[in-house]
Amino acid sequence: MSTTTPATPKHGLSRAATRKRKRLYIVLAGMTMLGVAVALMLTAFKDNIVFFYTPSDLTEKVVKPEHRVRLGGLVEDGSVRKAADGVTTEFVITDHIATIPVSYTGILPDLFREGQGVVAEGHIGPDGSLQATEVLAKHDENYMPKEVADKIKESGRWQEGGSGG
Amino acid sequence: MMHRFANPTRFMRVANAILPWCAALTVVFLCIGLYLGLFRSPADYQQGETVRIMYIHVPSAYMAMFVYGAMAVASAMALIWKHPLADMIARASAPIGAGFTLITLVTGSLWGQPMWGTWWVWDARLTSVLILFFLYIGYIALVNAFDDPARGAKPAAILALVGAVNLPIIKFSVDWWNTLHQPASIVTMEGPKIAASMLWPLLCMVIAFNLFYLTVGILRLRGEIAGARIRNLQLGLTHG
């Protein structure tokens, strides 16, 4: 940190002020480089940081049957069917571009319904459907009392799943 | 201007004067916020009564990041301008921020179980907040690892600055990656996505939590300054 240039008060900054400025630049440069490094790292690991794939991601990707994947999207309207055994539910997850059928045996979360955002985890079967072992409900970013929700539904401006699906 | 308040004695004179007001206002806003949030605000159309966890969770999550931001700014000032108070402000803030982060994680988990169907998932938002908690714990450990706090100040300040990279990651994690956690509801490009009847109690709680940080921060800063004085006196005795 030693400055070799003998800064005299006559020529602008005093020695203390020069040192302060130098430290300021070091901190700024350090933070910038750190930011760039982290940004590059996060971009490189994007595929591993995402919590789930959308149906259109999964139709593009080749997933080995032994690999577990998480699939997220909206439960397609009118797609939920109870299987004959009474505990297996079959439904379709959509992102309005692609759709993937899902079958799940077990108890569904309370928020699960048609039009709701969900994340299902399991294996992709040979027929391209997802055999889920876990289904989580995804809540959207809209908060409102029931009366307000009813009013919006009445006025016909309701968008199921919001933008958070 | 900055150096006027660099003097701990002058700074503490101001801080001590506003302390009782901060403490009183904390209690007032906390009471109003809790009453509005827990009793007067409506239940959510989807979440029902569970939505009330938000009145604790969202303000503490905001404070967890705000306090870390304050620590990072103070640490930068300590490194660049050798501001005598800046290190103390960062040190005084750390346990408060760690507390807010812990509250965020616990209340979020309690909300996640009934709503999502799980206590915890490793999505980008939850993981980055857990990292924030570890940064706080690491900072506190590092500050206390040195016998002479003055020697620990510089490494701790660097750690606080490096960790600040995590703040934008937490904030934008829900936009950059697919996460289970929902996107932002209050600070969004299209304006708040929370009904006004729920937004007011939330704002009251945010103000209350800010005042709480100010109150406890001043109290802890007083402790830091007293500690530094005692160390100086002891040094004077042994060397004098």
8 Å CB contact of A143 and B193: yes
CB B60 within 8 A of CB B103: yes
Of A135, A143, A149, the CB nearest to B51: A143
Looking at residue A19, what is its pLDDT?
87
Question: For residue range B204-231, what is the model confidence (pLDDT) as tens digits?
Answer: 999 999 999 999 999 999 999 888 888 8
Distance CA B185, CA A141 (A): 5
* Chain A nearest-CA residue for B40: A145
CA-closest candidate to residue A52, choices A65, A79, A70: A70
Identify the closest residue of chain A to B178 by CA–CA distance.
A50
Q: Is A128 on the interface with B (CB under 8 A)?
A: no
Interface contact flag, A146 B164, Cβ < 8 Å = no
Are A58 and A94 spatial neighbours (Cβ–Cβ below 8 Å)?
no
Chain B residue with the nearest C-alpha to that of A24: B80
Looking at residue A8, its pLDDT comes to 47
Q: Say which residues have a Cβ less than 8 Å from residue B13's Cβ, sequence separation at least 6.
A: none
What ipTM score was computed for the predicted complex, to two decimals? 0.80
Q: Give the highest mean pLDDT range of A57-71, B121-135, B185-199.
A: B121-135
Does A137 sit within 8 Å of B115, measured CB to CB? yes
pTM score, whole prediction:
0.88
H or E segment at A131?
Answer: strand A130-138
For chain A, give the number of residues.
165
Contact state of A24 with B169 under an 8 Å Cβ cutoff = no
Domain edges within chain B: 19-239
| CB count in 10 Å sphere of residue B3 | 8
Report the distance separating Cα A102 and Cα A71, nearest Å.
Answer: 9
Taking only the tens place, the pLDDT of each residue in B72-83 is 999 999 999 888
What is the pLDDT confidence band of residue A158, given thresholds at 50, 70 and 90? low
| Beta strand segments in B50-140, E | none
Instruction: Tell me which residue in B51, B116, B169 faces A136 most closely, judged by beta carbons.
Output: B116
Smallest CA-to-CA distance from B211 within B81, B18, B69 is with: B18
Q: Model confidence over A60-94: pLDDT tens digits?
A: 877 777 788 899 999 988 888 888 887 889 999 99
